[in-house]
Amino acid sequence: MATTFNRRTLLRGSAAATALAISPLTRATPAAAALGARELPRGREFLIQGAYIMPLGGAADLPRADIHVRDGRIAAIGANLPVNGIDVIDAGEMIAMPGFVETHWHLWNTTLKGMIRKGVEYFPLKQAFVRHFTPEDFYVANKVALAEAVNAGMTSVHNFSHNTRSPAHVDAELKALAESGLGGRYSYGWTDPIPNTQIQQDEDIARVKRQWFGSDSPFGGRVDLGVAVRGAMYTARDVYEPEINAARKLGCPVTMHIGQNKRRYTSCAQMRDEGLLDANMLLIHGESQSERDREAIAAVGASVSVSMQSELRDQEDGDIREQLLQMAAKKINLCCSIDSDALGVPSQFDNMQIIWNLGIPWRGTPSEKLPAFDLRQVLDMATINGARAFGREKEIGSLAVGKQADIILVRATDLNMIPVGDVDSTVVRHGNPSNVDTVIANGRVLKRGGELIGIDVKALRQSASASLHRLRERAGGQWTPPPGGPRF
């Protein structure tokens, strides 16, 4: 039966999901006792004990220390903190670090993740299915992506929604995000396809701001509303300028693609000269930016998000390695993102590994004398730099007293991690989502003992398989599914 999306059921569903997410593995434990590997704290106060703590954000590591979490925030960090009768998570064999901050992800087409193959690349695939997604399909796709995010240790995500087919589609995505318990940003984009000569109207954006981000918002300030525009990569100034100004009038930060190759290129220098580039902008990709473009980005203080697997696949005549080094040299705030499940694995570990391996100067190129990326620089790209891109570095992206309790515990004893020499090197070069033992977002445990909390993975798989089957039936032709219904 199709889900009905309206304001009353959305908020009721969000509240129910919150209760569900906390209850399945909880059981009474003695006060001040260490919790079992899969037990959850009984309340909003608990102690993470004995971890190797990587606070990031410029703070020094603590080789063995505790984190006191109370009411969604970090109350204290230090060695041998008093227990005082609260539940204890034993982290003696784990690395505690801030949750990853993801900064650009088209969640709606997650269902198409297994459809790229020989002769089928991302953009033709997207266009073949873009009109066939219902609000229910959007909801399922978002649920899958957000579950993947939690599993991989992301506590904030940026839904760059570039197929807003109707208000019901938008509400379906926001419902899934509210239920997930994650923070981040929802950027309201355009209807795909829309003529590049047509201005995207903002009436529904105002409705979304009022209904989802007002005083009774289910997000509690953990998610903000942005606007995604096509920008100069797709449209002329008489389209992108009023779209950007409309977003500014609504008080919404702007995000846009600036191109992975020369045929998909936005001149950030030109937009700066037009007064349309500012510090609140989050720019995506950027393999073909010129020196003047980079200077413009640095001058206004905008951020650039890179999605490394996508960049490698789609750069064509760009050079992501050169851009990374040149942008870092200009002190541009660089952060990491997924782009689309159809283009890359939803893992900030993968992003970090690729950046570190590519981030070295090459002889005979303009980057020859630039410094290579270091490991801590890469870790910052996946955490605190993403927080800066959202304007929330005082709240998330690093571990410090008073900050939101967005914390992940990474097992240091797994086969791929041992023996641990340099901790930065171990996390960046060898870590993967399977090593994420515990995920805490805003003080709420979303993954524990390697298992997702409150998410029925089997039911989610069945919903996703059924959604893809229906989409393939609607698309028809070469996309028609095999007879007999979904196998997996």
**Tokens, residue 55:** 């606070």
Architecture of domain 100-389: Alpha-Beta Barrel (3.20)
pTM for this entry: 0.92
**Tokens, residue 325:** 């080094």
Choice between 33 and 102, residue whose per-residue pLDDT is larger: 102
**DSSP of 43-88:** SSEEEEEEEEE---TTPPPEEEEEEEEETTEEEEEETT---TT-EE
How large a percentage of the chain has pLDDT more than 90?
88
Identify the band that residue 304 occupies on the pLDDT scale cut at 50, 70 and 90: very high
What is the average per-residue pLDDT within 306-319? 93
Q: Residue 310 has what pLDDT? A: 95
| In the chain, ranges of CATH 2.30.40.10 domains | 16-98+403-452
Q: Is the pLDDT of residue 390 over 50?
A: yes
407 bridge partner residues: 98, 440
How large a percentage of the chain has pLDDT more than 70?
93
Query: 18-27, 391-400, 431-440: lowest mean pLDDT where?
Result: 18-27
Q: Is the pLDDT of residue 123 over 70?
A: yes
Query: Which residues 6+ apart lie within 8 Å of 436 measured at CB?
Result: 151, 152, 153, 408, 409, 410, 411, 447, 450
Please write the tens of the pLDDT for every residue from 81-102. Answer: 999 899 999 999 999 999 999 9
Identify the band that residue 381 occupies on the pLDDT scale cut at 50, 70 and 90: very high
Pairing of strands 436-441, 444-448: antiparallel
Query: 16-25, 275-284, 302-311, 457-466: lowest mean pLDDT where?
Result: 16-25
Q: State which amino acid sits at residue 277.
A: L
What is the average per-residue pLDDT within 400-419? 98
Identify the band that residue 33 occupies on the pLDDT scale cut at 50, 70 and 90: low
> Are the C-beta atoms of 95 and 51 separated by less than 8 Å?
yes
> Are the C-beta atoms of 49 and 90 separated by less than 8 Å?
yes
How far apart are alpha carbons 236 and 197 in whole angstroms?
7
Q: Which CATH number fits domain 16-98+403-452: 3.90.25.10, 2.30.40.10, 3.40.30.10, 2.40.30.10?
A: 2.30.40.10
Tell me the C-alpha to C-alpha distance, in Å, between residue 458 and each of 317, 322, 419, 439, 455. 42, 43, 34, 20, 9
What is the average per-residue pLDDT within 202-229? 95
Q: Residue 238 has what pLDDT? A: 97
Q: Is the pLDDT of residue 7 over 90?
A: no
Please write the tens of the pLDDT for every residue from 362-380. Answer: 999 999 999 999 999 999 9
Identify the band that residue 61 occupies on the pLDDT scale cut at 50, 70 and 90: very high
What is the average per-residue pLDDT within 99-124? 96
Q: Residue 26 has what pLDDT? A: 31
Q: Residue 74 has what pLDDT? A: 98
Cα-only R_g, the chain: 22
| In the chain, ranges of CATH 3.20.20.140 domains | 100-389
How far apart are alpha carbons 148 and 347 in whole angstroms?
9
Q: Residue 203 has what pLDDT? A: 86
Q: Which residues of 119-154 are buried (b: 16+ CB within 10 A; e: fewer)?
A: eeebeebbebbbebbbbbbbbbbbbbbbbbbbbbbb
Q: Is the pLDDT of residue 465 over 80?
A: yes
> What's the distance, CA 136 to chain centroid?
22
What is the average per-residue pLDDT within 153-171? 97
What is the average per-residue pLDDT within 332-342? 97
Edge-to-edge strand ranges of the sheet holding 282-284: 100-101, 154-161, 183-188, 223-228, 254-257, 282-284, 303-306, 333-336
**DSSP of 278-345:** -TT-EEE--TT--HHHHHHHHHHT-EEEE-HHHHHHH-TT--HHHHHHHHHHTT-EEEE--B-TTTS-
Mean pLDDT score across all residues of the chain? 92
Pairing of strands 87-90, 45-53: parallel
Q: Residue 486 has what pLDDT? A: 87
How far apart are alpha carbons 15 and 18 in whole angstroms?
5
**Tokens, residue 104:** 């650009």
Nearest to 417 by CA among 406, 409, 408, 428: 428
How much of the chain is helix, strand and coil, in % rounded to 5?
35, 20, 45
> Are the C-beta atoms of 410 and 438 separated by less than 8 Å?
no
Q: Residue 37 has what pLDDT? A: 86
How far apart are alpha carbons 267 and 360 in whole angstroms?
26
Identify the band that residue 6 occupies on the pLDDT scale cut at 50, 70 and 90: very low
Please write the tens of the pLDDT for every residue from 174-199. Answer: 999 999 999 999 999 999 999 999 99
Q: Is the pLDDT of residue 327 over 80?
A: yes
